[in-house]
Structure 1
Amino acid sequence: MHTVIVYESMYGNTREIAEAIAEGVHQADPRASVDCLPVARADADVARTADLLVVGGPTHMRGMSSGLSRRMAAMAEAKKEGHEDAAHEAYETAEGPGLRNWFHQLPKTEHGTHAAAFDTRGASPGSGGAAAGIAQRLSRHHYDVVAEPEGFIVENGDGPLREGELDRARAWGAALV
Structure 2
Amino acid sequence: MKVLIVTESCFGNTSRVADAVAAGLRSAGAEVTVVEAAAEPALDGVDLLLVGAPTHNMGLPGPASRRQAATKGASPASTGVAEWLDRLPTGFGGRAATFDTVTGTGFFSGSAAKAIQKRLRRHGVAVVARQSFVVTSTEGPLADGELDRAELWAAGLA
What interval of TM-score do these two structures reach, taking the shorter chain for normalisation?
A: over 0.9
> Moved runs in structure 1, 4+ residues, more than 3 A?
none
Figure out how many residues of one structure are paired with residues of the other and give that number: 157
CA–CA distance in 2 between the matches of 1:176 and 1:102?
23
Q: Which runs of 5+ in 2 are unaligned?
A: none
Corresponding letter in the other structure for 2:103: G
Distance 1:124 1:138, change over 3 A: closer
Distance 1:175 1:139, change over 3 A: same
State the 1:28 CA deviation: 1.3
Instruction: Report the TM-score when normalising by structure 2.
Output: 0.94
1:128 matched to 2:78? The reply is no
8 Å CA contact retained: 2:36, 2:80 = no
CA–CA distance in 2 between the matches of 1:119 and 1:27?
21
Q: What does the per-residue CA deviation read over 1:82-120, in whole Å, with 9 as the maximum and x for residues that have no partner?
A: xxxxx3x33xx2xx212111112111125x410000000
Distance 1:136 1:124, change over 3 A: closer
Aligned 1:148-167 pairs, distance under 5 A: 149-167=130-148
Secondary structure of 2:32's match?
strand
CA–CA distance in 1 between the matches of 2:94 and 2:68?
35
CA–CA distance in 1 between the matches of 2:116 and 2:105?
20
State the 1:57 CA deviation: 0.2
RMSD: 1.3
Secondary structure of 1:14's match?
helix
State the 1:157 CA deviation: 1.6
Secondary structure of 1:34's match?
strand
CA–CA distance in 1 between the matches of 2:113 and 2:48?
16
Partner in structure 2 of residue 26 of structure 1: 26
Q: Which has the larger Rg?
A: 1
Instruction: Report the TM-score when normalising by structure 1.
Output: 0.84
Matched residues, percent identical? 43
Q: Which runs of 5+ in 1 are unaligned?
A: 78-86
CA–CA distance in 1 between the matches of 2:25 and 2:16?
14
Please identify which structure carries the higher helix content: 1
